[in-house]
Structure 1
């Protein structure tokens, strides 16, 4: 515990230059090292993902090429049916003389050599026909085994589909050619359609070296392996010839039949790419160690580490020099800032330097001045906002409105209109709760419209047929509940319309509408309240004076236009000068008041 306190005390009293150097190491060297490691890991994953994405596509193309080649080879046995001479020889069952057999054997062997060996079938090593204890053949190479004819005769005894060619894979072949080329047999039964009789079997030895040409499309790597295997897992062809004919014991553990995945082996992680052919059903597999993929990346990583170390040493020396040169003027600047730390903003720092320290001092002076102005401005704005709210609240609970409402309720009681009394008391209570209980400066549009509607309903009870009103909501009620408006902006305007209209008109009609429109001035959608009436209207001269009064940034005294000026001033303070009240009036016809506010989904 004592050691910890001592260490903390010593670090707390380090020189500023030492702290800057330590900070440099913590903020640059360590994060850059971590960033380099993350970048390398991300790049390695990106390389693996890219290869894992395009390698199956190459395998798919290679499988298509192999399928195309195999399909051509599978059709070779059908060439036999183009020769009537060959078919007539195969139809013979006995010979009267040995010379006849020798002649037929010579003719058949010549036909096989001419058609299959010396033709365009470069991949055919040999062709063999087993028919009625006879063997006809032509081959580019000889088998190593002396008893190869007996071995081939055994393949004709294996069951298979009539008229359909099939493969005899390397693991099933017990014969080897002299050149030890990898091959497989294509076996097909020779069926005489005319006589409905099996004439024998044809075996075509196919050199699998043509797959090497297809494998040349892949990147050459000594550690990468590529092999072709059957559905049972038998390796038909492998880049390592010694593995041809063996079984891939891991085939059943592969998680997919087409795609790429990572596999962990004793020699390290490998990237496996697989594609299964659609025709032959054979699977082509490409395997390469991840270390092989990252070989070039590791070289770049090592060079980057060396450069990073060199740059870190150089920049550390530069940081030492900069930290030392900065500490001297900073000491003077910190001494001048002590008065500001005590909360006194009436200061002006005089730093003669023109470098960054001088810029810091000038910026500090500007910041102090700005904070001082903002404090003064916010104080005035808040004061005016409270005054506006007080004016709005007073307009709601003025004695004249209460007296008239209570007098109307008393008359309804005397006349026995119980339901009307209940309705008026309910509306009056809701208006007071809205005015007094809700302390927020913001309410939903639905609440503000409801408050204006309550006021109009109470006045309707009072003036009966002299007053009619209509509220047109062009937006859905659910939309009203999501959008907010400043409080007390509709009722003062409605009250103003009724007051001026009923003084002149025998019958007054007020229409209130709410709509969402596009504001051309701000380029943003906005909410527009329209309060229109059929009152006496306003003369053009008085309308101009009223519009000029609304433009002034001040509150009008309590007068005929108090409601409009109060609402306009509060909207300007809370939402900006782009929003507020617009007036449209024709003398003798009526007046329309437009209240424009921005689309606001928050109440703060």
Structure 2
């Protein structure tokens, strides 16, 4: 009854199980279809940021999953090999260090035997001095060097030379090993060096190297034993800092399995722990698998040359290693290559679909930056790219209209500024000149009056210049001569004027009405208080690609800092009773037309006079045509 009741529900449960699983699979499939359909619909309306983010994220996640799985399986199969290879590399490095340590002992022994003992006769030679030199060379690692005869008697030793009493050396292991195999070098296991009396009671753990040697005494040959003791701390230091995977460790044994070094040596000697060192002594070099005290371990063995000692590396194995590494490796490699191909293909297709419209739009912008005006801005791609293309097209069109308007406005502004600057002729100059003509006529000075009226007419004719702002240099100098003729008559020849154009200036053009304001400034500020020896000179010359006009006077002059401030835009304008076109006005006109490289420079010293240098580009007829103002209404 109990058995029937206990097993009765199982058939019902087993019958309902497959139906429930089929129903769950149907629900999952339906959910996946709805999810896929929704994302397919949303993709058409997604922003470019969302498309790129989701696409590349999905591809990266899928790729990482594939690569993670392949690496997991590959790692599972290769863990044992990697651990073994790593242990072998570590043991090989430790073996090199031990080999270097042991070679240093052998070098000391060989040097002592072949260079000292063989060349000495004990009947007349002392070995103490060469032994001390040899000891001093390696005192950091050496503990002692000693030479004994076959009866165990001490022949020579350093640094200590007094044997303990009683000391029967002929029964020690290192002594017997040296006598039994006379052709070999013999390394002992670590032991306390207690052969010699130490006044400081300082005894060290050492490794002894012994060998049979032939001694010469009074010409006769006899046998002996050479003992070299080196500190065990060197071996301990080499082995102590070794790290193996999974909490592994390294220990050192001799050929019979006796422990030489173990990180838990004290615990093993006290019986608190055990080590499988006797079995390890029988292992050949390489990696072995063993089970010790219920734990699976990977044991790597490496024999140390010259000694028969063995380095043993122990690494605990957690879980089993995958055995069929070749098949798993091929599978992992195939999976990795397929994942890389799939990711590369999908990324290429998706990125091309998304980025091509942006790339074409970028190319159009670059062409616009290069100065092309007939660039067609494409409006394609995702919604944002389409809007961006449309905005750029509208912006380019607006910018073109604005640039045209700005160019037109700047041209009009420049022409207006030049007109204003050139039209600043004070009517007071005209009034004074006509008043002088009337006065001379009434005084019967008809020739001077005629000369002044003639010069005034020519002055205004050149000033008009048919609306042109750039005139021949000869006309500008002629204008200056007529102006100075008028002023000399008015000032009753208180000063003289010299106007010269040096060779090389023929055919050059200049901006009009730039010399006369400088002359006016020289008259009112340089010649006003002068006597009858005033002199104003105008000299035009060519310097390379520039035209230079110097207007110099020998008037009162001024301090250099005052002269430099005359062109300062922040300095208030100084009005005169002349034409009203100031020096700063001329400077602004020149720079506005030709640029900041050109303009005026003023040189002056008190009581020595003033020179105003006008610098312009050396323009020929073709160059002047670019600056003509015939288009001014």
TM-score range normalised by the length of the shorter chain: 0.3 to 0.5
Higher relative contact order (CA 8 A, sep 6+): 2
Q: Which has the larger radius of gyration?
A: 2
Under a length normalisation based on structure 2, what TM-score does the superposition of the two structures give?
A: 0.35
